[in-house]
Every structure is written in structure tokens, then in C-alpha cells.
């Protein structure tokens, strides 16, 4: 009976978590960059950028020179939080989060230390993903 309750609790927890967290909603998919960012097309050369795909695959990039890291993100609809894993060589090496402000339509760190990111593109094309190494 105890084992049955543990399994039921695990299933309920998974269902509850998936109801609050989803991949990336359409209003967040695309390229986000800070005010001073220099982009050529959608690729960052200077500044900070966050690339988000609908499947949660994306990248954080900063420069110059542009250096990035692959991320796997989910969006928590209850808190407007983007929670992500930092991925290197297909292994999770860290975690992070960002906050989406639906009123200002910005993404920030939530602690006020880093600048805000503004949406620069509404899509993350296969071409951009390939350029960033997000196969």
C-alpha cells in the first residue's frame, strides 16, 4: 500500500508540475537582446542575447567576442519564470532562470543586476539554430 501511495504521489506531482510548466509559449519564442546589442541578422556580435525555440532549446550568448551556451528551457505560467539548464557536451552543467514581464514585454534576471532583454525576432529558424550549433 505504501508503494502504491508513493507511485500515486509521484504521478500527481508530475501532472501538477507539467500543468504549471510548459515549453516556450509563442509570445516568448525568438531572439531577445539588450538595448546596446549589435546583431547581424539575428546573430549577436556584441551585447547579450537569449535565443528561445518553442521546444525549449535555445542559447545564451554574450560578446564580444560572441560566446554562447546551449540551454533547455521551460516556462512556468504561474510565475512567468523561464527556468533553464545550461548544457555543455549534452550534459547539464548548471541551472538558471529569467523572468518574463508580460506588461513590459521584457525578459530580465529578476534581481535588477542585469539589463533587460527586448524581443528582436519572433522566430528561431533552423538556420539560426544551425549557426548556434543547436541541432
Average pLDDT along the chain, 135 residues, taken 10 residues at a time: 35 40 91 96 96 97 96 97 97 97 94 86 95 90
In a domain, 11, yes or no: no
In a domain, 98, yes or no: yes
Which are the contacts of 43, defined by CB distance < 8 A and separation ≥ 6?
66, 128, 131, 132
In a domain, 42, yes or no: yes
| pLDDT value of position 9 | 36
Q: How many domains does the chain have?
A: 1
In a domain, 62, yes or no: yes
User: If you ran DSSP here, which 8-state letter would residue 36 be given?
Assistant: T
In a domain, 111, yes or no: yes
User: Where residue 47 sits, what CATH number does that domain have?
Assistant: 2.40.128
User: If you ran DSSP here, which 8-state letter would residue 38 be given?
Assistant: E
In a domain, 7, yes or no: no
Rg over alpha carbons for the chain, rounded to the nearest Å, is: 17
In a domain, 43, yes or no: yes
In a domain, 10, yes or no: no
What's the pTM value of the predicted model, to 2 decimals?
0.83
| pLDDT value of position 21 | 66
| pLDDT value of position 111 | 76
Work out the widest C-alpha separation in the chain, in whole angstroms: 61
Nearest-angstrom CA–CA distance, 84 and 124: 17
What domain range is 104 assigned to? 22-132
DSSP string covering 41-89: TTEEEEEEEEEE-TTSEEEEEEETTTEEEEEEEEEETTTTEEEEEEEET
Amino acid at each position: 500500500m505504501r508503494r502504491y501511495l508513493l507511485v500515486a504521489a509521484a504521478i500527481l506531482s508530475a501532472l501538477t508540475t507539467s500543468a504549471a510548466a510548459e515549453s516556450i509559449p509563442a509570445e516568448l519564442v525568438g531572439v531577445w537582446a539588450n538595448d546596446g546589442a549589435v546583431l547581424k541578422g539575428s546573430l549577436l556580435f556584441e551585447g547579450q542575447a537569449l535565443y528561445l525555440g518553442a521546444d525549449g532549446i535555445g542559447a545564451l550568448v554574450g560578446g564580444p567576442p560572441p560566446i554562447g551556451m546551449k540551454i533547455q528551457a521551460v516556462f512556468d505560467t504561474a510565475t512567468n519564470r523561464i527556468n533553464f539548464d545550461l548544457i555543455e557536451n549534452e550534459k547539464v552543467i548548471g541551472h538558471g532562470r529569467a523572468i518574463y514581464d508580460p506588461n513590459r514585454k521584457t525578459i530580465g534576471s529578476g534581481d535588477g543586476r542585469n539589463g533587460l532583454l527586448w524581443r528582436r525576432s519572433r522566430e528561431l529558424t533552423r538556420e539560426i539554430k544551425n549557426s548556434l550549433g543547436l541541432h
